[in-house]
Amino acid sequence: MNISRTIVLVVSVGFAAAALGDVTGSITSNGKTTALKYAVAMPKPNPFDKKKKTTFLVVTDQPVPAAALADEFEFMRWYDKANLHGFAVLINDEKRVVSGNVYDPALKHNGFSGVGMQEVKLTTLTPARIAGTVSIPKPDDFFGDKYQYTATFDVPVAAVKAAAPPPPKGTPLPAGGGEPAKAYAVYSKALAAGDIAGVKRGVTADRVKEMDSPDFKKMFGLVQALQPKNIKITGGTIDGDTATLLATGKDESGTTNGTITMVKEGGAWKVKEEEWKSKS
């Protein structure tokens, strides 16, 4: 069995409709059982063979926002706050689970991933539909967390697309992003150079406090590695002391799109947060 913990960030997202199917089932975590009432399935590329497709099945106790279903990072950031109970599995054309996750606030680790313990009995697996049962027939253990689930379902397989986000509020920035973009460029250069002091000068006061943690220096290399390369500001708006920059960049998967929030503090533009999404 191969297991790795899922790291979770928390935000709030809006809900949108997805193609739901029939499902009955439950998940039991550390002795607490929750009924599973919702199931959604969608096609996804096989992570081990891009020429093949897999079916991503999500079975939960509550509806999942379309934005979270359409983007795995949105899902990770949403599910903890939602107190989500359920599981997700990626099933290949050989009817085997190649990736799986468990979600339950009753678990000490809240959510983690693993394969090898699931049992799959499908009656239908086509590009348009998946039906059958997925279960962990015997209680499994993850560092003291005991869990087990089963679900029988009949679900249409369909791509899920989130509604386009509303345009950022405010007045359009000049070409190149104006002063907020210049401040972001200085911050980005400091980050690439490994200049922690320069990075701190470029972010908001609340982020500086986070960076004062002893763990930040340990994580700084990862922060650098995750930052996209060749960032270009493509647009944005300004609304009082808040500016939103729209950008593109490059990461290991290709083109990535960014939304960067800048806030004016002490008369200078600072990076409050940034979010990057790669094209699937």
Q: Residue 267: give its domain's CATH number.
A: 3.10.450.50
Average confidence (pLDDT) over 172-183: 96
Residue 272 lies in a domain: yes
Joined tokens for residue 89: 């599995």
User: What pLDDT is attached to residue 235?
Assistant: 93
Instruction: Check whether residue 11 and residue 136 sit in a common domain.
Output: yes
pLDDT of the residue at 112: 79
pLDDT digits (tens, 9 = 90+) for 185-230: 999 999 999 999 999 999 999 999 989 988 888 889 988 998 999 9
Residue 164 has pLDDT above 70, yes or no: no
> Are both 152 and 179 inside the same structural domain?
no
Q: Are residues 120 and 183 in the same domain?
A: no
Domain identity same for 257 and 121: no
Residue 17 has pLDDT above 50, yes or no: no
Which pLDDT score is estimated for 259?
Answer: 93
Judge whether 111 lies within some domain: yes
Whether 180 and 210 map to the same domain: the answer is yes
- Per-residue pLDDT tens digits for 128-163: 999 999 999 999 888 888 999 999 999 999 987 766
Examine residue 165 and state whether it is found in any structural domain, yes or no: no
Residues 142, 204: one domain? Answer: no
In this structure, are 192 and 260 located in the same domain? yes
Summarised one tens digit per residue, pLDDT across range 58-106 is 999 999 988 888 877 778 778 878 889 999 999 999 999 999 999 999 9
Q: Does the residue 163 lie in any domain?
A: no
pLDDT at 8 over 60: no
In whole angstroms, give the CA distance from residue 81 to residue 64.
12
For residue 263, being part of any structural domain is answered with yes
Q: What is the pLDDT of residue 20?
A: 64
Boundary (domain end) residue, out of 156, 190, 209: 156
Point out the least confidently predicted range of 10-19, 130-139, 208-217, 246-255: 10-19
Establish if 166 belongs to a structural domain.
Answer: no
CA 45, 49, 54, 59 torsion: positive or negative? negative
Pairwise pLDDT comparison (72 vs 255), residue with the higher score: 255
151 and 176 together in one domain = no
**Assigned domain for 29 exists:** yes
State in Å, rounded, how far the first CA of the chain is from the last one: 28
Give the pairing of strands 242-251 and 254-265: antiparallel
Q: Which two tokens stand for residue 56?
A: 């991503």
Residue of 139, 265, 160, 269 lying closest to 205 (CA atoms): 265
Do 24 and 149 share a domain, yes or no?
A: yes
Final residue of a structural domain among 121, 156, 191 = 156
Mean pLDDT of the chain: 87
Domain residues for the domain of 228 are: 171-278
Number of independent structural domains in the chain: 2
Of 122, 156, 190, the residue that ends a domain is 156
Q: What is the pLDDT of residue 170?
A: 92
User: 55 forms bridges with which residues in the sheet?
Assistant: 43, 91
The answer to whether residue 162 is domain-embedded is no
Cα gap 63→60, rounded to integer Å: 7
Contact between 20 and 40 under an 8 Å Cβ cutoff? The reply is yes
Q: Is there a single domain that holds both residue 194 and residue 126?
A: no
Please state the φ and ψ torsions of residue 170, each to the nearest 5 degrees.
115, -175
At residue 169, the pLDDT reads 85
List, as one string, the DSSP characters of 100-130. EEEE-TTSTTSEEEEESS-EEEEEEE-SSEE
Per the confidence metrics, is the pTM higher than 0.85? no
pLDDT at residue 13 is higher than 60:
no
Give the mean pLDDT of 229-234.
Answer: 95
21 and 105 in a single domain? The answer is yes
| DSSP category for residue 81 | T
pLDDT at 239 over 50: yes
Both 136 and 215 in a single domain?
A: no
